[in-house]
Amino acid sequence: MKITNIIIFFIIALCVLFAVFQFSGQEYLSSGSKSLIVPFFTVLYFINVSERSKYFSLFLVLFSIAELSTILDYFSFDWSQHRLDMYYLLGNATYILAYVFLILEVFKTINLRKVLKSYLIHVVVLLVLNIYIIYVLITIVNPEFQIDSSGYLIGVEFVYNIVMLLLLTISLISYFYNDNKKTLLLFFGSVCIVFSEVIQIAYFYIADQDVLNIAQTILFVLAFCFFYFQSKVKNKKVHFFA
């Protein structure tokens, strides 16, 4: 319990440091503070959860690696466009793989045949909505890639957005199907992480404002809080609001 409290203290301290550095214009320090948050959540998970899920563990480990790699990028002496594109590709590929494992974790909680039978209309509506959202997001980021002569990277962004929205869709369907505390927490976490990513896109490509970065980081931390809490709950078919 003492180690747990220390880790939680460090997570809170990193969130405060992120906000302080962000408002003071020290982007490297704010980014570094944020990059350490998920690794601490990962340590918290491996310390406190005895019955660990393989997929969820891989999600946390890969996401931590991707987050820590953003710190290492600043120590590179080669800031050529080719090297920056390589960092972008490898980093996002790691994030995508991490989210794929989280999707597999959520997918374990549903029976696909029963879901399609009971929620076919819901699935179709969600797919149509996802296609529209992906189109809007790609429209926002595409001009930026064209300006930087890195148009081929739009494919990475496209796959990234698909994976993110697929996570949100499957977690919502999982909650419809199971209607319990674990899948509700997974859905809340997915909502927070997706909205965090959307706000981050707005911060990078629309308005470079500190408030947006603070908002997306709050949602980011809340997402991993929900993910951590769900890892301590078993997936039982019990109505959460009963």
Question: Using CA atoms, how far apart are residues 86 and 111, in angstroms rounded to an integer?
Answer: 39
Q: How far is CA 202 from the centre of its chain?
A: 16
Q: Is residue 242 part of a domain?
A: no
The answer to whether position 193 is within a domain reads: yes
* Number of folded domains that form the chain: 1
**pTM here?**
0.86
Q: Which domain holds residue 164?
A: 2-231
- Give the whole-number percent of the chain exceeding pLDDT 70: 85
| Residue 237 belongs to some domain of the structure | no
77 belongs to a structural domain: yes
Q: Tell me whether residue 216 is in a domain.
A: yes
Q: Which bin fits 149, alpha (ψ -120 to 50), beta or left (φ > 0)?
A: left
Q: Where residue 1 falls among pLDDT bands split at 50, 70, 90?
A: low
Q: Could you tell me if residue 19 is inside a domain?
A: yes
pLDDT tens digits for range 27-52: 888 888 999 999 999 999 999 988 88
Q: Is residue 16 part of a domain?
A: yes
